[in-house]
Structure 1
Amino acid sequence: MENSAIYKQCDLLLAELSKFDKSIIHFGNQIADDRLKLLEQKIGFNLPLDFKYILIIHNGISLVGNEVYGIDEKFRDSSLDKVYQFEHEEVSNKMPGQYFPFSPDGFGNHYCFDLSKLDNTLCPVVFWQHDFNYPSLNEVEICHENFMEWVEEVLIEWTLEDINYDGTDK
C-alpha cells in the first residue's frame, strides 16, 4: 500500500471517529515536535506509518473505555514510552523487544505492534496476554493485519455494537 493510500485510509477512519459525540470520545492534541522519532531511536524500531500518522494528528484517543496511548509527560505512566519500558523491563512476564504496546484491554493485556514484521511501512497487531507464558512467539495471536484494521474493528465497530454515534445505548 502506498503512503498516500495509507494517509487517505487514516483520514477516513479519523472522519468516522469524529462522528462520535464529544461526550464519549477524546482526541489528544497534535504532535508538533520530534518525540515519535526520538521514541523510535530509543526502542530501535520504526513505528508503522498508519499509527504515526494518526498519532501525530491526535496524540492519544479514548472512546468509551478503549484507548490508544499518547506520548507526553502529561500521560504519566500511560505514555507510550513509559508503557513500553514497563512492559519490557519491569513486569515478570516481559514482552519481547519487537512488541510495541499501544492499547490496553483493561486487564493487563495489550494490543501491540509486532515491529519485527514491519513491511512496507505497516505491521501486524498482536494481542499480548501478560499472564500467559508463550512457548513460542508463533503462539501470540495476530489479530489485525495493521493499525487501520484495528481502529476500524476495535474502536469503531465494537463501539457501534452497543453505542450509537450520539453516545446513547442501543
Structure 2
Amino acid sequence: MVKWLDTDEPVKKEDIEHVEKEFGIRFPIDYAEYAMQNHGGVPDPNYFDFEGRKGAVFERLLSYDETQPHYILKEYHWIKTRLPRKVYPIGSDPFGNYICFSYRENESNPCIVFWDHEKTSPKTAISYVCDSFSELISKLYEADTGYVPKIVEIESGGLLNRLV
C-alpha cells in the first residue's frame, strides 16, 4: 500500500478543474481523486520500472496550491516548450524529469509517460510507463539498495558500529 508523505492541504474539485481548463483536458478520475487529497506529496514506496529502466523515482506529485514550489501550472509553464504537444506533467523525479499524462493517442484515456529532460528530441524524451495513474501507483516499490552497514575503526583504536 502506498502512503503519501508531506502532502499539501487537500484541494477542492474546482482547483483540479482550473488546471484542466488551462491544459484543455480532463484528468482521469483515479488521478483527480488522488490529487485532491495527496497533491504535493511524496509516495512511499516511490520506485518504479518502465521500458527496461529499473529504479525510476517518483519524487513528488505536483501541487495544486499556487503558493507551493511544485505548483503544477508553474512546472508546466517552465517546461512546456520542450514537451511534446498533449503531454502534461503530474509528478517529478529528483533529477529534473517528469511523470506525465500523454493525451497524444487517446484524449479520453491518457497513458502515463516519463519525460527525460536531458533528451533533446521530443520523440526520444518520452517513454511509455503504463496505461493509468492507478497502474502507476500499483507499480511502486521499495528500493533495494544492497547497502550493508560495516564496522569502522575510530582513532582511539576502539570500534564504532555506524553506517558508512
Say whether the fold is shared (TM-score over 0.5).
yes
DSSP-derived class of the 2:17 partner? helix
2:77 pairs with 1:85: yes
Residue 115 of structure 1, CA deviation: 2.2
- What letter is aligned with 1:112? C
2:61 to 55, 63, 68: 68
DSSP-derived class of the 1:74 partner? coil
- What letter is aligned with 1:84? Y
Q: What percent identity do the matched residue pairs reach?
A: 18
Higher relative contact order (Cα pairs below 8 Å, separated by 6+ residues): 1
DSSP-derived class of the 1:127 partner? strand
142-151 or 110-119: bigger deviation: 110-119
Report what 2:19 is aligned to: 39
Report what 2:159 is aligned to: none
- What letter is aligned with 1:67? R
Which has more radius of gyration? 2
Residue 118 of structure 1, CA deviation: 4.2
- Which one has a larger percent helix, Structure 1 or Structure 2? 1
User: Contact 1:102/1:113 (CA < 8 Å) preserved in 2?
Assistant: yes
- What letter is aligned with 1:17? V
Q: What is the aligned residue count?
A: 132
What runs of 5+ residues in structure 2 fail to find an aligned partner? 45-57, 146-164
2:138 pairs with 1:152: yes
Residue 151 of structure 1, CA deviation: 1.5
2:119 pairs with 1:132: yes
- What letter is aligned with 2:131? E
**Aligned equivalents of 1:104, 1:135: Cα separation in 2:** 18
Specify whether residues 35 and 68 from structure 1 end up closer, same or farther in structure 2 by C-alpha distance, changes over 3 A only: same
TM-score of the superposed pair, with normalisation by structure 2 = 0.68
What runs of 5+ residues in structure 1 fail to find an aligned partner? 1-15, 163-170
User: Contact 1:26/1:63 (CA < 8 Å) preserved in 2?
Assistant: no
Residue 101 of structure 1, CA deviation: 1.0
- What letter is aligned with 1:72? D
2:7 pairs with 1:27: yes
TM-score of the superposed pair, with normalisation by structure 1 = 0.66
**Aligned equivalents of 1:151, 1:129: Cα separation in 2:** 20
Residue 33 of structure 1, CA deviation: 5.2
2:103 to 100, 115, 139: 115
Deviations along 1:76-103, one digit per CA (max 9) or x if unpaired, are 3x101111111114xxxx1023111112
